[in-house]
Structure 1
């Protein structure tokens, strides 16, 4: 390559970087001034089918997933005395103290005799922090059970470049980022729908993930990047009824999470952690909770009945 051509390519690269930076700054400015997003989480409650809320399962969904859709997908497959408390994360920021206040209010209404924190992928990190607050307030519904599903214990367990988490903490985006996110998500293959899944809920779940917005995606990415297991709000006393780690067959093929390193990190904090294979879930599928809810719910009930 001639020196002239090298200089031309360098100018093109610099010009392209300048355009991208300008778009990012414009998008951030629009986001700050015009593109308003919510800062509060939303909790959905599904009472037990039998009318007796013996056990409450707190559903903490994965990255950019809708907790309310996951709760509805699980409803036909949990026990008749199981109530579901599902969390939808805020569009801007992720304050686990605020989430816990809403979860605690739902638990007071249900008055269960047992509580389970189920955290899928990033939801496992959220579950660890809610568990800490639950214990700090006296564990009024008894010793809890923690069920982690393909959950990272640190951003290093996520199969994505480290710099993405740093960018997520300063660039919160706006409408341009939302459109880019939607376009990129639409190109991602989804797991096949399993028997018993509700096609309408599957469509709602995919639509929620597609149009969650760049601001929510960045906020949740920042939360993952700053999470520290075993320190601060993520520390627990370990006084659990049980702790389990669900994962797929051949989970080393998971496209997002390095489950082997994650399990080791969680086990350093919780030595009694038991890993459980979700029968029927393939390693290349990352937590297909809405597409294949029966597989996950069956595995969940199997560990809760031990």
Structure 2
């Protein structure tokens, strides 16, 4: 019996990343700030890793989480199909891990400010190890269905991805099949992972603010709040663009594509760039160790 009414689809051997559609003429100028942020992220995060490793007094909870944040910034226009799915997995996996680290850091701030006398006994090294393992496993397991589901769909429309990297929904939109399972699972993760993390962070900082307002003097309140403001800045530069990008793929049909892609790149580049700048400059122990290291090099 003839199968003339059946079409066999095969996955493309490669995908072509289009970059930022509509801004091709400005690629040279766009590359300057992007490369600058990427360079700062590379040098700054490796500096934090080196300083924390070399300085025994920095082997504490907050600095362990800073090291984990420093690791999660790793991300030709043409990419192999399997390589694209691999990139998709690790990008979203690291984003989920980064979100988990922000929750852990918020919890650390909560204990340090609301119950400072029990900070060292509550947040012990074994507990830190368990939190770190939970953050890694959660990100790895929840994102694992992404590439497996994406691989099963037939891609018959085009192999050109209208994005600068292999973003989950940007790839799925090329499939000529009903991708609602993948789309709904991605939306489920947005609310389960990002939504739950934002709720936990908001809850922690609500209690932190209540504790700060109970402090007896204005100077004490400002000093304590200053220890949290850097963390809040990085959180906002991560979650606001991330949620905008995730939801725009599904509901923001009137958002210009070039603006959407620029925002998606911001939450990949800006938080890793801010980590060493904000935490390194504002954290006295890291700053003092860096100054001693620079003094040794020039002496």
Structure showing the higher helix proportion among its residues: 2
More strand by share: 1
Give the alignment's TM-score, normalised by structure 2.
0.28
Normalised TM-score (structure 1): 0.28
Which of structures 1 and 2 has the bigger CA Rg? 2
